[in-house]
Chain A
Amino acid sequence: MSVHSVKAAILGTGNIGTDLMFKLLKNPGHLELALVAGIDRASDGLARARSLGVATSDRGLEAVLATPDIKIVFDATSAHAHCRHAPALAVAGRIAIDLTPAACGPYVVPPVNLRAHVDAPNVNLITCGGQATIPLVQAVSRITPVRYAEIVSTVASVSAGPGTRRNIDEFTFTTARGLEALGGAHSAKAIIILNPADPPILMRNTIYVIPAGDFDEAAVADSVAQMAAEVQSYVPGYRLKGAPVFDTVATAAGPRRMATLLLEVAGAGDYLPKYAGNLDIMTASACRVARVITEHLRAPGP
């Protein structure tokens, strides 16, 4: 590994942590994965890390803090756990890339504000539903002001680990706030549904957008298509299903034109099978954010 590389650790050995490990090993750039830390010695994720020759620990945060040259810490535990980890990591001068919906730091969605928080001690990736849908809501709001956005994320049961399940309220809350803060919606709502069908379904998202007034439907359709292509550049399985559907809906403020976008996200299959597009988009975004922070850290100072 180059002397200029930046050392990183993954905290959490569930689905997300393990998929992220595979991505970082496959395409490390200037990032060196120096540690994978969990809290369950017998976990499948730690066993996989060991078998791939990555240093591991079952002492969680403590192990990360005890390794002084680790600069970037990916937290793939749970919202509850990250709230405890965040202050300790900040005091120790480690940069946290938070893959839980804890939202201690500012939100980042790569095609919307990739470089906005390169100096922040903690950045939050919102949720998988947020990473999938916020770019498309932004694609509408850059054309016309958005009064209300609502998203429904449906994921295969087998791709939702215990962290997601324990934090389902945080998912809906944080996704909705992300749709407002980065998607540009005046107000927003998020719904998540787990589907146990076997074989498992691909991650599916429905995005409903009500702009504030009349809008140019062709311009919205173009903007959405462009944004989808941009996300596709780092999440190859990201695909709009058909063109936007435009419709009139009754609202409290009278009838309004609205757009419905149907989105499917297949995973890259790095660790979990292709249906887990919800994990893939989180880990792909985390890698992209880490790359930008790494560049920033390696850039010569003023």
Chain B
Amino acid sequence: MNAPRITDSCLRDGSHPMRHQFTVEQVRAIAGALDAAGVPVIEVSHGDGLGGSSLQYGFSRTPEMELISAAREVCTRAQIAVLLLPGVGTRAELREAARRGAAIVRIATQCTEADVAEQHFGLAKELGLEAHGFLMMAHMRPPAVLAEQAWRMESYGADGVYVVDSAGAMLPGDAAACVRALRSAVRGSIGFHAHNNLGFALGNSLAALEAGAGQLDGCLRGLGAGAGNAPTELLAAMLDKLGLRSGLDTFRLCDAAEHVLAPMMPFQPLPSRDAITIGYAGVYSTFLLHARRAGERFGLDPREILVELGRRKAMAGQEDWIIDVAQDLAARKPANPA
């Protein structure tokens, strides 16, 4: 087994729990610490990818392009990656990110909709970027469907494709089956992006690795949407224990998690009752804070909202359905006596 390449995404997926409030100073400190600890790829973007700053997802405090530049400036070895969701961001933002020094783009689509990304893979290759497909909400379709979509992405120029468990709904057997299916369909490397809503972020990452994944995603201190992601420092420890030479400095990552990142975090993502519900109902991890807000506003338990979103098969990025569902649920309730 070879050591996987690790991408730390706390400056992208972690943008959700940070409510998109990262500052240039914070990004410099975090990216610098990750770089010093040997993390080879650092993803920096709005939580919903380039161009994600919006009412739907939350406005960025600092324009993401400034954050990309800041990360690029402090890194001596690490490459900067960005996320792009066609339909939210466009090629214009990708060009600008490349100009700012991003070397890798991960192009994310719903796990059934790879063909919306053809023009973006085309531009990425034209710009000389390394480009990976990111099949979101992968638990919603069987591995064979994912494999076919991954094959399409490769045909558009993807250098590799990730299985993205956006809902943190998979068990290790699911993660392994998806990775195996993709390996049989594409030549490029297969990656796995885990969320910890059911407590399996690390276990799923290990299962994916054993099934042949060449890339794994982590977030320092697990800072990501929902219950967070596989903590990068724990991935490093796991790879050490497996005897794989990952190039990561486990203790430095632990220090960075505890002393650099933790003091900036508004809360520690964990499998709380709402986050577990997300994994259980199979909805997008970023719905966590939005569902809590809607729950407060409409006098509902966030759990009811999340379960109903799962029943309606909401996909990645459909934060606007939360208000809609909350309104419907509130209307169905008998009026509370004042």
- Would you call A195 and B315 a contact (CB within 8 A)? yes
Within 8 A of B (CB), among A204-238: 204, 206, 208, 210
Taking a contact as CB atoms under 8 Å apart, the answer to whether A168 and B55 are in contact is no
Q: Which of A55-63, A244-252, A273-281, A285-293 contacts B (4 or more CB under 8 A)?
A: A244-252
Shortest distance between the CB of B46 and any CB in chain A (Å): 12
**Also in contact, A208 and B59, with CB within 8 A (given A157-B113, A169-B90, A262-B324):** no
CA of A146 to CA of B263, assembled, Å: 39
Minimum CB–CB distance for A273 against chain B, Å:
17
Majority DSSP secondary structure for residues of A touching B: strand
Residue of A nearest to B93 (CB): A169
Whether the pair A157, B115 counts as a contact (CB closer than 8 A) is no
Chain A: minimal CB distance from B175 (Å): 21
Contact-residue bracket for chain B: 20 to 34
| Complex CA distance for A167 and B119, rounded to whole angstroms | 8
* Docked complex Cα distance between A154 and B312 (Å): 13
Known: A196-B113, A262-B324. 12 other contacts (CB 8 A): A154-B320, A162-B115, A168-B116, A172-B88, A173-B92, A193-B316, A194-B87, A194-B110, A195-B314, A195-B318, A245-B327, A260-B323
Cross-interface CB contact of A165 among B116, B318, B331, cutoff 8 Å: B116
Q: Is A189 an interface residue (CB 8 A)?
A: yes
B26 is an interface residue with CB less than 8 A from chain A: no
Is B56 an interface residue when CB atoms closer than 8 A count as contact?
yes
| Interface mask (A122-147 → B, CB under 8 Å = 1, otherwise 0) | 00000000000000000000000000
List 29 A-B residue pairs with CB atoms under 8 Å apart, sorted by A's residue number.
Answer: A150-B56, A154-B318, A154-B320, A157-B110, A157-B112, A165-B113, A165-B116, A166-B115, A169-B90, A169-B92, A169-B119, A172-B87, A173-B92, A189-B54, A193-B87, A193-B316, A193-B318, A194-B110, A196-B110, A196-B113, A204-B324, A242-B327, A245-B323, A245-B327, A250-B59, A251-B59, A258-B55, A260-B323, A262-B323
Partner of B88, one of A165, A191, A208: A191
Residues of chain B contacted by A152 (CB below 8 angstroms): 56, 318, 320
Question: Which residues of B (86-101) have their CB < 8 Å from a CB of A?
Answer: 86-88, 90-92
Q: Which 10 pairs, one residue from A and one from B, show the smallest C-beta to C-beta distance?
A: A206-B320, A197-B313, A196-B112, A169-B90, A208-B55, A192-B87, A152-B320, A165-B115, A194-B113, A168-B116
* Residues A196 and B323 in contact, CB atoms below 8 Å apart: no
How many A-B contacts at CB < 8 Å in the complex? 96
Check if A50 is an interface residue, CB within 8 A of chain B: no
Assess A191 versus B87: contact at CB under 8 Å? Given A154-B318, A196-B113, A249-B55. yes
Does A41 sit within 8 A of B, measured CB to CB? no
Chain A contacts for B323, CB-based, 8 A: 206, 245, 260, 262
Residues of B within 8 A of A172 (CB): 87-88, 90
Chain A residues in 8 Å Cβ range of B92: 169, 173
B320: A residues at CB distance < 8 A = 152, 154, 204, 206, 262
Smallest CB gap from B88: residue in A = A191
Distance between Cα atoms of A191 and B56 in the complex (Å): 9
A260, B324: Cα distance in complex, Å? 10
Chain B residue contacts of A189, Cβ below 8 A: 54
